[in-house]
Amino acid sequence: MILVFSTNLKWLPGSGAYAVGKAADWGSRAEHLVLPLTALVVSHIWYYAYMVRNRILMEMGADYVLLAKAKGLNKRQIMFHHCLRNAIPSYLSMVAASVPHILGGTYIVETVFSYPGVGTLSYESARYKDYNLLMLLSILSGAFVILSNIAVQKEAKSDGRQI
């Protein structure tokens, strides 16, 4: 993406969080965020779309869908008012359970695009052997993963589902 959109086409900046001297310019910050955010979203969205598709196909075979068809509801109403509403909680659980994968991807994207953040800070602390900062960042990342997993378990128990 850097090679195509930044180097060859010169449409977007390839690194950093803002242009030199434009730290307060929101336009510059948004422009610098496009490539890293696109890389992060594209690398994860296909999996979640596939899982939602499979979950909705499972829901389409449920008895309440047959009842809704018998009531005369069209396919769009059944899909959005019944199937999607029942598929969303499992989708949110799946996203929350994959927080370590997303967090790791964020660290890599920040490093590749030289975007300042926790990933870049972790990389630089490892590079310069600042073990205290690296341990702190590891503990904070681990705590974030544990808290997200606890939230998933709590949400699943309140729905009566087993994960």
pLDDT higher than 80, residue 158: no
Percent of the chain past pLDDT 90, that is, above it, reads 12
Is residue 157 very low, low, confident or very high in pLDDT (cuts 50, 70, 90)? low
Q: Which residues contact 40 (CB under 8 A, 6 or more apart)?
A: 102, 105, 106, 109
Is residue 51 very low, low, confident or very high in pLDDT (cuts 50, 70, 90)? confident
Residue 161 has a pLDDT of 54
CA-based diameter of the chain, in Å?
67
Average pLDDT (93-121) is: 85
Residue 58: CA count within 13 A, CB half-sphere: 10
Q: Which helix (H) or strand (E) holds 144?
A: helix 131-159
d(CA 52, CA 66): 20
pLDDT higher than 70, residue 106: yes
pLDDT higher than 60, residue 53: yes
DSSP 3-state of 73: coil
Contact of 100 with 145, CB cutoff 8 Å: yes
Average pLDDT (87-105) is: 81
Is residue 159 very low, low, confident or very high in pLDDT (cuts 50, 70, 90)? low
d(CA 155, CA 161): 9
d(CA 60, CA 55): 9
Q: Is the dihedral of CA 83, 85, 86, 92 positive or negative?
A: positive
115: left (phi over 0), alpha (psi -120 to 50) or beta: beta
Query: pLDDT tens across 119-153, in order?
Result: 889 889 999 999 999 999 999 999 998 888 888 77
DSSP 3-state of 129: coil
Average pLDDT, the chain: 84
Percent of the chain past pLDDT 70, that is, above it, reads 94
Residue 156 has a pLDDT of 62
CA distances for 43 relative to 62, 105, 106, angstroms: 31, 8, 11
